[in-house]
Structure 1
Amino acid sequence: MPAVELKVSTRVTAGNAVMTIVGEIDLYTAPRLQAEFARLLEDGPSRVVIDMSGVEFCDSTGMNVLLSALKRLRERGGGLEVAAPRPAVRKILQVTGLDSVFVVHDQVPAELLTEQSG
């Protein structure tokens, strides 16, 4: 079975983080994503937006990783938002009811795309 690449990059500005995920989130790649969240949450951003425009597939394991990150962020008064999910991922969010748990954006919010200086 070919190894599916999961690329995760994160940019933190002014207490907000944008995590860009490319690839498939499943049983095999979820631990990598979990580790990225653990590292990110140590830095303490209160708002995390996940750019899922590059995610082709996300199974229940992947959704559980997102839910556990949301829970940890909410415990400290923050939040986790999903941006730009592809139709397949959006459908999973709708079928599972998670589209009402996460704030879902059609694209990464513009205020997070501009580099803030200071």
Structure 2
Amino acid sequence: MGLALHTTRHDDRVTVTVRGSIDLHSSDELRERLKSLVEAGHRQIVVDLAAVDFCDSSGLNVLVRTYKQAREQGGVLTVTGAYGRVENVLRTTGLDRFLIGTPPEG
């Protein structure tokens, strides 16, 4: 399965809903979408992974780099909806401690 991205905006928050597998072949698409949101000045970015069935190290790299870029710009990136294998890889790597959280109200 490929990757599908859907971006919605609600007040100050932008949510990117991801569907499919995030791997070496699809992570560039996610990277570009998230990078463009940070560069456009969005400060509250939520990445919804509820419909993601697989995420490898290239996908984790995209999330970590974007998290750091958002923080450098005074923003926040939060991951929601991770479950199964995706949640397990986030917890195993310790990335859940700063990526998974409650998104800001808005």
Residue equivalent to 2:3 = 6
Scaled by the length of structure 1, the TM-score of the pair is: 0.82
Residue 55 (1) aligns with residue 25 (2): no
- CA distance in 1 between counterparts of 2:29 and 2:100 reads 23
CA–CA distance in structure 2, aligned partners of residues 15 and 80 of structure 1: 13
Aligned to 1:95: 92
Asked if the contact 1:6–1:24 (Cα under 8 Å) also holds between the matched residues in 2, the reply is: yes
Percentage of identical aligned residues? 35
Is the 2:44–2:104 Cα contact (8 Å) retained in structure 1? no
| Equivalent residue, structure 2, for 1:43 | 40
Specify every segment of 5 or more residues in structure 2 that has no aligned partner in the other structure, as ranges: none
Correspondence for 1:16: 13
Displacement of 1:34: 0.8
- Which digits, 9 at most, give the CA deviation of each residue in 1:28-51, with x for residues without a partner? 000111111122223211111111
Q: CA deviation at 1:13?
A: 2.4
C-alpha deviation, 1:76, in angstroms: 1.2
Q: CA deviation at 1:102?
A: 1.3
Find the counterpart in structure 2 of residue 34 from structure 1: 31
Query: Larger Cα Rg: Structure 1 or Structure 2?
Result: 1
State how many pairs are aligned.
106
Q: Report the 3-state secondary structure (helix = DSSP H, G, I; strand = E; otherwise coil) of the residue aligned with 1:104.
A: coil
1:11 is displaced (CA, Å) by 1.1
What is the root-mean-square deviation in Å for CA atoms of aligned residues?
Answer: 1.7
Tell me how far apart the structure 2 counterparts of residues 62 and 110 of structure 1 sit (CA, whole Å): 23
Return the alpha-carbon distance in structure 1 between the equivalents of residues 10 and 42 of structure 2: 9
Residue type of the alignment partner of 1:20: T
